[in-house]
Amino acid sequence: MTTIDLKLHQHFTNRELSFLEFNQRVLAQAQDPHVPLLERVRFLCISCNNLDEFFEIRVAGLKQMHDAGASQTGADGLTVEAQLAAIHERALELVQEQYACLNEALLPALTANGVQLLGTEDLSPAQKSWLRDYFHGEVEPVLSPLGLDPARPFPRIQNKSLNFIVQLSGEDAFGRDSELAIVQAPRSLPRIVELPATMGGGFVLLSTIVQAFVAMLFPGMDVRGCHPFRLTRNSDLFVDDEEVDDLRRALEGELAHRRYGAAVRLETGVTCPAEIVDFLLEHFTLTRADHHAVNGPVNLNRLSALVDMVPRPDLKFPPFTPVLHRRIAAQPDLFTAIRHQDILLHHPYQSFSPVLDFLRQAAADPQVLAIKQTLYRTGANSPIVDSLVAAAHAGKDVTVVVELRARFDEEANISLATRLQEAGAHVMYGVVGYKTHAKLCLVVRREPEGLRRYCHLGTGNYHQGTSRAYTDYGLFTCHEGIGSDVHEIFLQLTSITRTPTLQHLLQSPFTMHAGLLARIAREAELARSGRKGRIIAKMNSLVDPEIIEALYKASGDGVQIDLIVRGVCCLRPGIPDVSENIRVRSIIGRFLEHPRVYCFGNDNKAEIFCSSADWMERNFFRRVEAAFPILDPGIRDRLLSDLELYLRDDMQAWQLGPDGRFSRVSPIGEGTVSAQQQLLERYTAQGALNP
């Protein structure tokens, strides 16, 4: 029998190109006429924001490697140079589709529904007069036109800021011929302005207003052109944990420079003259491949404000109210409810408020002695932090592991760490060299039987805002073994201790990778022995080559494998003799699918873990992560039912082919299935699911 080489490059998809495919699926939501119109605008903005972050981090990193002469390849075999070339081609297609969606679909549909985004040519004389007054009173006072000449060099351009390069002719007050000037739009200015209803209403972009009245900034000069442009910069922060004495102070220093990292991409309008584009590219040391000429505003992200400004609920998803878990509704004392039985919350269908109440009750309960918590992202003015501060003020032992390096939340996390320290909490920043990404909360309570540990373990962040937009699971338990494991992890994060031996949890960077490989191998052994090997796994990203090879081997042994991967997937399903028994689908819908759930058939004794970790090398080896088992049989059945529902989805599902491209799943018959909609209806109708 011929042995198949599972490491061949053609068996893997490039991570960066897979991300662009994910963003294509997000854009498809904006193109879908079945999605409410203003939600389509929101999805368009999300796809643009995703692309921004992709260039700020991933492309910026590749360009650094290229400039340093690196040529190493990943499992897919693409060199750094080949990746950049492929990204340029694919990203250009994506940007063109984004603006085609805006101009050919969304703007006409908005106009047809009475929501007008007006250009200069659409304005009536009265509207132009009102906007002129608005420009004079609200915009002009905060603008600082900057001429370009030897005495006035090109100003520093902030990352993703709105700027205009203005072509001029004539002499200024000092008799100088100034041909170019830069106008920077401060972030304090609203990017969309609503016209009064007395003038017919409508909305106008700030860039349209500036271009229409820019001549008012240059009296006596002839304005020959005004061209908006936007620069994307490298936004990754580099701090060598082992080389700094104070991680927090080092990060604060880096944050000051984030807005001015190396230039990565230049966006201009399609009408910007070639000589101006060349001038900007040369100044920012960019090439033609780094330039995107767009047919519309240079920052589509700003259109997200329109969604909130337009009071049209008929053009948005129907509102819903997350329901309170039935057992918690019947027993508001969470410690009593958890002692009775484990409780699994499914957000956003079920309310996040029990998580907030868990901390509030712990802070106020005189029997609670200690609270330990990990915080990765919490959002501004977090009630979680309020409760931790209250607990510290009440004299309880409060220990919080704050991940300062949560990307784009660094500044907020430094602020909340300061607040917690001032309240008397013990604040730690995790372990040098590893991000703390696990979602854990531990409450130690004195009870008649002795001390008892109550835990909340989640797949998502302790963030009230995202709990309404992301799907996630959170488990409440006072199981002695799980509580002991969580306690050991906190000891590891806050003290100096040996690697703990955990009874139930899998933990990165120690046991998770090996534990998953062992369970995949177990399913393969079951299949080889004639029994049923089965794996269902749901996650955001699947990248790790060793895990992928193990899945390929298990597929070859006859294991039936279903993967629900929202974003990046480097595995290629359906390759003859390699991955014939693997199916990969992606669900893109109203809510962002965020939970990680791993189900191993285990010879009809299903073993299910929920986790904070995707199947990526960084999660396995460079982060502190936790995967917690579902021990309650009823909850286990419920999770398995949820996974099977996602596998039946034929409304919001995409299927991955052997070529690395996703195609939309076609509805089968009349009985179409949308997993998110069914879950929404089920929870709403029943109030909450038991257990």
Q: Which amino acid is at 623?
A: R
Counting other chains too, the contacts that 482-486 makes at CB distance below 8 Å and 24 or more residues apart are 482/455, 482/457, 482/628, 482/629, 482/631, 483/442, 483/452, 483/453, 483/454, 483/455, 484/453, 486/372, 486/440, 486/442, 486/453, 486/455, 486/457, 486/626
Amino acid identity of residue 399, one-letter, is: T
What's 187-232 look like in SS3?
Answer: CCCCCEEECCHHHCCCEEEHHHHHHHHHHHHCCCCEEEEEEEEEEE
Backbone angles phi, psi at 341, to 5 degrees: -170, 150
Angle in degrees, CA 483, 486, 491, rounded to 5: 125
Cis peptide bond N-terminal to 348, omega within 30: yes
Q: Report phi then psi at 462, rounded to 5.
A: -80, 70
Say how many C-beta atoms besides its own lie within 10 A of residue 85's C-beta: 13
Residue with tokens 């919350």: 345
Residue 315 per-residue DSSP state: G
In single-letter form, the type of residue at position 261 comes to G
Q: Give the Å distances, CA to CA, from 19 to 58, 250, 258, 542, 566.
A: 10, 31, 23, 11, 10
CA distance 253 to 239: 10
Catalytic site residue from 88, 292, 347, 437? 437
Which run of H or of E encompasses 625? strand 623-629
Pairing label, strands 368-375, 397-402 = parallel
CB distance 556 to 578 below 8 Å? yes
Q: What is the three-class DSSP state of 271?
A: coil
H or E element, residue 457 = strand 450-458
Q: How far apart are CA 497 and CA 500, in angstroms?
A: 8
3-state helix, strand, coil in the chain (%, to 5): 40, 25, 35
437 is catalytic: yes
- Residue 228, class by beta-carbon neighbours within 10 Å (0-12 exposed, 13-18 middle, 19+ buried)? buried
Contact call for residues 166 and 226 (beta carbons, < 8 A): yes
Residue 238: both structure tokens together: 């580099």
Measured over the CA atoms of residue 405, residue 566, residue 105 and residue 40, the dihedral's sign is: negative
Q: Which of 509, 504, 502 is nearest to 610 (CA)?
A: 504
CA distance 153 to 688: 63
The token pair that represents 502 in the structure block: 């955990």
Type of residue numbered 294: V
Among 180, 176, 270, 268, residue whose Cα is nearest residue 225: 180
Residue of 233, 231, 283 whose CA lies nearest to 258: 233
Q: Which residues are catalytic?
A: 437
